[in-house]
Structure 1
Amino acid sequence: MSRTRTALALGTAAAAALSLASFTASAAPLPAAGSTTVTPAGHDFKATLSGKATLKAGSVTVTCSVSVSTGTVPAAPGNQNAAGPVSSPISPPTYSSCTSSMWGVTPTVTTSGAWTVSMQHDSPITATMTVPVGGLVLRTSGLASCTVTAAPTAAANVGGTWANGAPPSLTFANASVPVKVTGGFGCPTSATSSTFNAVYLVTDTTDPAQQITVGP
């Protein structure tokens, strides 16, 4: 091989090695999540809807004015995670006093299964509510008979934010939830996701003088 061809080959190899190094560096894993501590450890809490909750699938919006869920902060040391979120089991949230944007239609929401909520300390503090498979079913009756099933094939993580305070709040703003819609005329059967909006105020029911707090 001539000197020119040798130099060209070496240059090409060097460029390839550099490109591979750059790709490897860019594909490096993200840093581990920071630490999270939820206090008071072992305390029970209650999350109560503030205002209204809305679930929008296609052109149909269901609005509920009453929703409640309860849970328990894990006992120590489970209320601390040095590199990630702290998760708490919660009761399936109840939804009542619901109305539909469709005239002549009455919605009913039922929930079931093992729900959880996890908190990750950050800025802002992130919250993730996990809906089990088929854990929320919305049915309408009247002029349109529809069934909307949330998390139809796999558990779904619904993203939100947590704000410490007196009381603290848990907010879901335009959170996406996978759904399956069945039914006849007027039902948004082409919708595969819904948008969830709600704000919950959280109280410490073990000791009402204290506040559930998420910290590092």
Structure 2
Amino acid sequence: MMQLRPRTHARTLLAAGTGVAAAGALCLAVTAPATAAAPAPSLAAGSTTVTPAGHAFAANLTGKATFKAGSVTVTCSVSNSTGQVPAAPGNHNDAGPVSSSISAPTYSSCSTSMPGVSATVTTSGAWGVAMQNGSPSTAVMSIPKGGVVVKTSGLASCTVTAAPSGPATVNGSWSNGAPSTLTFSGASVPVTVVGGFGCPTSATASTFGATYAVSDTTDPASQITVTG
């Protein structure tokens, strides 16, 4: 998922997704951040406050994360990331998003829709996310250059690299709750694919869908919220 830094007070939160790929008609899609902090939306935005200030959080996949290209789908059932809401006053921005760094999301327990083909996902680098209050509130997750590498094995041996030419971003939506959720639907990210027979080497993008529950790990009785 890039790097346009919000203003002075911009630094904050959230985790979430990365990509996976499969063979045959495989492509990867991931959502999220590239340097220690995510980029700010390009349009003028209202104020944003993320609370509780300074609290650590964890983002855990709920349900399945799907990565789809044509008729091929890669599904992962385990994914998580961690981060920390900026301490005050950095958890507030008068005119834009609040951003922060997050750990590179991990993905495991993945399968593909193609018989005889398995997939593994490796993530690396500095990731980030920028949260913007609104109706709905939104999130921009940034992926560093080459931050996700998916390898398939079996009937097709392919290597899919996300954000191959530079940082990339993925857009999502945020919903306050107990716990709050971060959702990515139909998000797209650039990819390159290399490999032999059965590998979609002409693919240049892939789509991603996942929902993450974001919990406060400093105080489990509290909720991570995004307001104005």
Range of TM-score over shorter length: 0.7 to 0.9
Structure 1 residue 86 and structure 2 residue 98: aligned?
Answer: yes
1-structure distance, mates of 2:196, 2:173: 36
Q: Confirm whether residue 204 of structure 1 aligns to residue 216 of structure 2.
A: yes
| Greater share of residues in helix | 1
Percent of pairs with identical residues: 73
> Residue 177 of structure 1 is aligned with which of 172, 180, 189?
189
2:75 equivalent among 63, 70, 75: 63
Residues 1:54 and 2:87 aligned together: no
Could you tell me which amino acid in structure 2 is paired with residue 178 of structure 1? P
Q: 2:45 aligns with which of 33, 56, 67?
A: 33
Equivalent of residue 200 in structure 2, options 171, 188, 193: 188
Deviation, 1:57, is 3.2
**With structure 1 as the length reference, what TM-score do the two structures score?**
0.84
Change (3 A) 1:31 1:153: closer
CA positional deviation for 1:58: 4.2
Q: Please state if 1:97 is matched with 2:109.
A: yes
Larger Rg: 1
Q: Deviation of residue 59 (structure 1)? A: 3.8
Question: Which residue is equivalent to 1:12?
Answer: none
* Structure 1 residue 65: Cα displacement: 0.3
Q: Which amino acid in 1 is paired with 2:94?
A: A
* CA distance in structure 2 between the partners assigned to 1:148 and 1:58 by the alignment: 15
Distance in 1 separating the partners of 2:121 and 2:78: 11
Q: Secondary structure at the match of 1:186?
A: coil
More displaced 10-residue stretch of structure 1: 50-59 or 75-84: 50-59
- Write out aligned runs for 1:101-120 (5 A): 101-120=113-132
**Structure 2 gap segments, 5+ residues each:** 1-41
User: Which 5+ residue runs of structure 1 have no aligned equivalent?
Assistant: 1-29
TM-score, with normalisation over the residues of structure 2?
A: 0.80
Do structure 1's residue 166 and structure 2's residue 202 form an aligned pair? Answer: no
Verify: 1:138 aligned to 2:150, yes or no: yes
How far does the alpha carbon of each residue in 1:105-129 deviate from its partner, in whole angstroms, 9 at most, with x for none? 1100000000001100011101111
Higher relative contact order at CA 8 Å, sep ≥6: structure 1 or structure 2? 2
Aligned pairs, number: 187
Structure 1 stretches of 4+ with a deviation exceeding 4 A read: none
